[in-house]
């Protein structure tokens, strides 16, 4: 318990004067108590000397420990009070704690004077103890003076039991001494009362003097203020005249220069004032506008609205805000916010009206654009997931009222990833837009076609009489998509797998309808693609597929079905291979080569991603060592680290162990850590990366630009390279925005002294753009797809041979 948690205070603070007196008493009580603590400690030492032979008695020893602890605690309470100077509302708590301490001390003195008093046979020691306690408690009259009853309580508890022990000792001198102490126990409280009264009177008198002095000072200040006011009055009158002129000038300046249109009307709502901003907004000069009715700048469709607005303003006399469609002198329709108020004469009668007008046409257009972008897909213009879910929710509510059906079609383009990787993202985007337009031709106006993301689409068919009607639309979509997409003289065939769920047969809420349609789509994929499947409650295909993948993944590790491909990283200045990025692949016996996106997420959730990551690191380091042993040119091998692997406490010791095991040069190993992964726990990330850098490993910040780190945070990272995400490179140099971002990333990396590597370079134009902006290196299909270790070795050997031939040629020329 602290001093602020003590029980109810014996003295409740009263009105302000009494509260201040109480505060002063508590302050003096604590300040005077220092003498008591010093005197108590002195008496304790003396008593220890007197009763040294009896200290072996447990009770007496416990008493000495107890009195010492209480004294030290009270001294600590004193120091806390002195150092903190508590506010007045906390003083009752401090007072209570002081009383508790003094009471405990008095009780302890009573204990040594009764239960622990030396035997009657040891008269000298008894008298010494009695005199020391009596002298100590007699001196307390002075330092307990600020409190009304603290000393009375202390004297009664400490002296009366002591005198009683002496009176009943049967020894005449001790009995006499006990009587004297009893007399002191009676007289000393009376003396304390006199001292207390004198102290209170002194404090009250001092406070009254301070109060009187303060009043005199205030009165003097008031008189001085009155004199100053009289002296300033004449000056203020002159200033008022100048202020009126200045105010009129300022009002005129505001009227002429404010960006808001300022229009004043008479009681018949005809223009009496028209500022330059109003001229700019509506195109009418002041001379053309003065005297005209209010409707000349309002669109015909708003005529009734403005008449109602003026009528309400005239009747209520209060200001109002409204938005109206207006017409400029050139006939252009704009939207303006009108802030209208009445103009009153000194008698409170309406003498006219005033309007502040702001053109918000551009703002409204921007808001509409933002709203559209927030609810539509940027590539296809279709509703996005957010808008789709809202429409699906409305369709469900409508179907519930009408007792109708709603169908959800979940579409996923078959093998679109292969097309996208083979022909490039531009072709993929063209296909997605073409598919979007075809889907719109297959549905009604009340239906919704939305893009879920990537190559997935969702179609909502509301207000269906029967669930089977959805199959007609699905078959129509399949037929429409059988027509090839023509791009640059080539025909590309695109098919889709469709899963269908129904309200209310399959689910009654948005999330479950979408989930079931997604599951049904996977059934269609498994059935051979380019087909339709309805959701069935007795089969959760997604779960079964996931379980199948999990089982196959676990077997794949045991059967060593994983292998690495290597994508060259090329130096722009020389065209030489300076590094290889290690990319994992799964050679599945059933499906062939599987890309990481199809199994990494499952490996992460299963917890085997760490084991898989260690295999990749060990295999890549082994390959690096093999290239070194063959005497091939020194290159860097880049290895991706997964989030779970990076956050593992075993990461550093495991990687260092593998380095030692394989014998690879750590200076030729580069760890690729995504920007988002680093920012999850910046402090831990910096610590881990600094440890790895200390042994020579390099660190590359991968997918830079898609995360949320700041320049200040990146400066802290012990990185050596920065990789620009392929999403920016894909649109340069055609897209100015992507180009500006890429230029900024390169410039920032150079300021941080980081090597820059661009990912996903597929065209010569992209390469030249990077070269012009001084990017150091690149990787992508323009140079090479990811290749096997044998192909990578052949590339490095060819490069070594070319370098040797160039060296020989140069030497011969010299």
Q: How far apart are CA 180 and CA 643, in angstroms?
A: 86
* Cα-based torsion angle of the residue sequence 266, 271, 277, 278 in order, rounded to the nearest 10 degrees: 130
Of 333, 365, 397, the residue at which a domain comes to its end is 365
Band of the pLDDT at 62, cuts 50, 70, 90?
A: confident
Q: Is the pLDDT of residue 120 over 70?
A: no
Predicted local confidence at residue 442, as pLDDT: 94
My answer on whether 334 and 444 are in the same domain is no
- pLDDT tens digits for 613-650? 999 999 999 999 999 999 998 899 999 998 778 877 88
Q: How far apart are CA 501 and CA 461, in angstroms?
A: 11
Distances (CA, A) of 127 to 47, 133, 196, 450: 12, 10, 30, 103
DSSP assignment letter at 300: G
Predicted local confidence at residue 765, as pLDDT: 93
Q: Is the pLDDT of residue 587 over 60?
A: yes
My answer on whether 429 and 314 are in the same domain is no
User: How many CB atoms neighbour CB 141 within 10 A?
Assistant: 19
Half-sphere exposure of 94 (CA within 13 A, CB side): 27
Predicted local confidence at residue 2, as pLDDT: 39
My answer on whether 340 and 202 are in the same domain is no
Q: How far apart are CA 390 and CA 400, in angstroms?
A: 16
User: How many CB atoms neighbour CB 516 within 10 A?
Assistant: 25
Within a domain: 9? yes
3-state class (DSSP) for residue 498: strand
3-state class (DSSP) for residue 674: strand
Higher pLDDT, 225 or 622: 622
Within a domain: 545? no
Q: Is the pLDDT of residue 556 over 50?
A: yes
My answer on whether 108 and 60 are in the same domain is yes
My answer on whether 528 and 571 are in the same domain is no
3-state class (DSSP) for residue 657: helix
Within a domain: 225? no
Question: Across-strand partners of 721?
Answer: 700, 755
Q: How far apart are CA 738 and CA 726, in angstroms?
A: 11
User: What contacts 53, CB < 8 A, 6 or more positions away?
Assistant: none
My answer on whether 126 and 66 are in the same domain is yes
Considering only 5-19, 172-186, 787-801, which range has the smallest mean pLDDT?
A: 5-19
Within a domain: 437? yes
Q: Which helix (H) or strand (E) holds 271?
A: strand 271-274
My answer on whether 585 and 712 are in the same domain is yes
Predicted local confidence at residue 563, as pLDDT: 94
My answer on whether 418 and 453 are in the same domain is yes
Band of the pLDDT at 215, cuts 50, 70, 90?
A: confident
Within a domain: 244? no
Within a domain: 372? no
My answer on whether 350 and 392 are in the same domain is no
Predicted local confidence at residue 105, as pLDDT: 83
Predicted local confidence at residue 620, as pLDDT: 96
Higher pLDDT, 33 or 284: 284
Predicted local confidence at residue 245, as pLDDT: 65
Band of the pLDDT at 6, cuts 50, 70, 90?
A: very low
Q: Is the pLDDT of residue 8 over 60?
A: no
My answer on whether 710 and 762 are in the same domain is yes
110, two tokens:
């009573």
Of 162, 195, 214, the residue at which a domain comes to its end is 214
- Percentage of residues in the chain having pLDDT higher than 90: 25
- pLDDT tens digits for 25-52? 778 777 777 777 787 888 888 887 787 7
My answer on whether 576 and 446 are in the same domain is no
Band of the pLDDT at 5, cuts 50, 70, 90?
A: very low
Give the domain CATH number at 397. Answer: 3.30.70.270
Q: Is the pLDDT of residue 793 over 90?
A: yes
Predicted local confidence at residue 390, as pLDDT: 93
Scored b (16 or more CB within 10 A) or e, 399-413 reads beeeebbbbbbbbbb
Sheet with 261-265: strands ordered across: 271-274, 261-265, 350-359, 333-344, 320-327
Within a domain: 344? yes
Instruction: Give the range of the structural domain holding residue 517, as residue numbers without chain letter.
Output: 378-539
Higher pLDDT, 790 or 317: 790
Predicted local confidence at residue 614, as pLDDT: 92
Predicted local confidence at residue 17, as pLDDT: 66
- Three-state DSSP string of 311-353: HHHHHHCCCEEEEEEEECCCCCEEEEEEEEEEEECCCCCEEEE
Give the domain CATH number at 324. Answer: 3.30.450.20
**398, 404 in Cβ contact below 8 A?**
yes
Predicted local confidence at residue 796, as pLDDT: 93
Question: Residues 87-96: what's their mean pLDDT?
Answer: 81
Within a domain: 130? yes
User: How many CB atoms neighbour CB 507 within 10 A?
Assistant: 20
Considering only 161-165, 217-221, 259-263, 416-420, which range has the smallest mean pLDDT?
A: 416-420
Band of the pLDDT at 547, cuts 50, 70, 90?
A: low
DSSP assignment letter at 383: B
Give the domain CATH number at 580. Answer: 3.20.20.450
Band of the pLDDT at 395, cuts 50, 70, 90?
A: very high
Q: How far apart are CA 84 and CA 774, in angstroms?
A: 63
- pLDDT tens digits for 655-713? 999 999 999 999 999 999 887 677 667 788 888 889 999 999 999 988 665 544 455 56
Report the domain count for the chain: 4
Distances (CA, A) of 674 to 641, 688, 703, 720, 738: 8, 14, 6, 14, 20
**742, 725 in Cβ contact below 8 A?**
no
Backbone angles phi, psi at 271, to 5 degrees: -65, 130
User: What contacts 226, CB < 8 A, 6 or more positions away?
Assistant: none
Q: Is the pLDDT of residue 538 over 70?
A: no
Burial of 392 (0-12, 13-18, 19+ CB in 10 A): buried
Of 311, 334, 365, the residue at which a domain comes to its end is 365
Question: Residues 2-20: what's their mean pLDDT?
Answer: 48
- Three-state DSSP string of 732-776: CCCCHHHHHHHHHHHHHHHHCCCEEEECCCCCHHHHHHHHHCCCC
Predicted local confidence at residue 252, as pLDDT: 63
Q: Is the pLDDT of residue 128 over 60?
A: yes
30, two tokens:
């604590």
Mean pLDDT over the full length of the chain = 82
Predicted local confidence at residue 244, as pLDDT: 66
Q: How far apart are CA 764 and CA 772, in angstroms?
A: 12
Q: Is the pLDDT of residue 80 over 80?
A: yes
My answer on whether 527 and 598 are in the same domain is no
Distances (CA, A) of 482 to 27, 489, 600, 775: 95, 17, 32, 43
């Amino acid at each position: 318990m602290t001093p602020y948690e003590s029980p109810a205070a014996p003295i409740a603070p009263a009105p302000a004067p009494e509260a201040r007196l109480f505060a002063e008493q508590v302050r003096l009580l604590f300040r005077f108590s220092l003498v008591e603590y010093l005197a108590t400690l002195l008496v304790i030492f003396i008593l220890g000397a007197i009763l040294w032979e009896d200290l072996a008695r447990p009770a007496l020893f416990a008493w000495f420990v107890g009195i010492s602890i209480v004294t030290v605690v009270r001294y600590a309470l004193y120091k806390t009070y002195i150092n903190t100077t508590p506010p007045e509302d906390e003083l009752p708590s401090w007072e209570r704690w002081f009383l508790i301490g003094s009471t405990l001390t008095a009780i302890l003195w009573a204990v040594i004077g009764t239960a622990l008093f030396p035997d009657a046979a040891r008269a000298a020691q008894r008298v010494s103890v009695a005199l020391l306690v009596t002298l100590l408690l007699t001196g307390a009259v002075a330092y307990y003076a600020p409190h009304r009853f603290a000393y009375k309580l202390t004297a009664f508890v400490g002296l009366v039991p002591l005198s009683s022990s002496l009176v009943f000792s049967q020894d005449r001198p001790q009995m006499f001494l006990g009587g004297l102490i009893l007399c002191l126990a009676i007289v000393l409280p009376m003396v304390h009362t006199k001292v207390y009264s004198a102290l209170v009177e002194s404090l009250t008198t001092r406070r009254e003097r301070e109060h009187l002095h303060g009043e005199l000072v205030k009165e003097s200040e008031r008189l001085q203020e009155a004199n100053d006011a009289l002296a300033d009055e004449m000056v203020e009158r002159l200033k008022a005249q100048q202020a009126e002129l200045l105010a009129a000038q300022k009002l005129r300046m505001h009227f002429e220069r404010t960006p808001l249109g300022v229009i004043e009307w008479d009681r018949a709502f005809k223009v009496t004032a028209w500022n330059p901003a109003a001229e700019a907004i509506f195109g009418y000069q002041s001379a053309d506008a003065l005297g005209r009715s209010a409707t000349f700048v309002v669109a015909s469709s708003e005529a009734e609205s403005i008449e109602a607005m003026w009528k309400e303003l005239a009747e209520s006399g209060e200001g109002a805000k409204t938005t109206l469609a207006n017409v400029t002198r050139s006939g252009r329709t704009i939207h303006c916010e009108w802030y209208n108020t009445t103009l009153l004469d000194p008698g409170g009668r309406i003498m006219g009206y005033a309007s502040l007008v702001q053109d918000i046409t551009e703002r409204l257009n921007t808001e509409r654009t933002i709203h559209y972008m927030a609810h539509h897909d940027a590539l296809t213009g279709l509703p996005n997931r957010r808008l789709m879910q809202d429409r699906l929710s409305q369709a469900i509510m409508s179907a519930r009222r009408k007792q109708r059906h709603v169908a959800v079609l979940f579409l996923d383009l078959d093998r679109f990833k292969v097309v996208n990787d083979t022909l490039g993202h531009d072709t993929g985007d063209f296909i997605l837009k073409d598919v979007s337009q075809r889907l719109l031709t297959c549905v009604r106006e009340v239906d919704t076609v939305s893009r879920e993301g990537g190559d997935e689409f969702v179609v909502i068919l509301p207000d269906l009489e029967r669930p089977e009607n959805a199959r007609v639309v699905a078959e129509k979509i399949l037929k429409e998509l059988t027509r090839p997409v023509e791009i640059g003289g080539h025909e590309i065939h695109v098919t889709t797998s469709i899963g269908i769920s129904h309200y209310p047969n399959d689910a009654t809420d948005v999330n479950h309808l979408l989930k079931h349609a997604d599951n049904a789509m996977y059934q269609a994929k498994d059935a051979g693609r380019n087909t339709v499947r309805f959701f069935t409650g007795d089969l959760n295909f997604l779960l079964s597929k996931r379980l199948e993948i999990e089982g196959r993944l676990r077997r794949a590790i045991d059967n060593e079905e994983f292998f690495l491909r290597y994508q060259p990283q090329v130096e722009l200045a020389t065209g030489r291979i300076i590094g290889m990025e290690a990319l994992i692949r799964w050679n599945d016996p059933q499906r062939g080569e599987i890309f990481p996106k199809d199994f990494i997420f499952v490996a992460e959730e299963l917890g085997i991603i760490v084991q898989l990551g260690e295999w990749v690191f060990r295999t890549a380091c082994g390959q690096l060592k093999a290239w070194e042993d063959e005497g091939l040119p020194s290159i860097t091998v880049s290895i991706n680290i997964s989030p779970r692997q990076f956050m593992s406490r075993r990461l550093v010791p495991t990687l260092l162990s593998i380095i030692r095991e394989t014998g690879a040069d750590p200076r030729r190993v580069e760890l690729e850590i995504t920007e988002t992964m680093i920012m999850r726990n910046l402090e831990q990330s910096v610590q881990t990366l600094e440890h790895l850098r200390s042994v020579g490993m390099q660190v590359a910040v991968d997918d830079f630009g898609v995360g949320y780190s700041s320049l200040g945070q990146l400066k802290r990272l012990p990185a050596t390279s920065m990789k620009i995400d392929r999403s920016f490179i894909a649109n340069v140099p055609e897209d100015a925005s992507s180009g500006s971002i890429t230029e900024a990333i390169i410039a920032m990396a150079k300021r941080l002294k980081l090597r820059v590597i661009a990912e996903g370079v597929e065209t010569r134009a992209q390469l030249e753009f990077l070269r012009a902006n001084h990017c150091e290196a690149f990787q992508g299909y323009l140079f090479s797809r990811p290749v096997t270790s044998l192909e990578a070795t052949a590339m490095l050997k060819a490069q070594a041979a070319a370098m040797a031939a160039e060296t020989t040629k140069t030497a011969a020329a010299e």
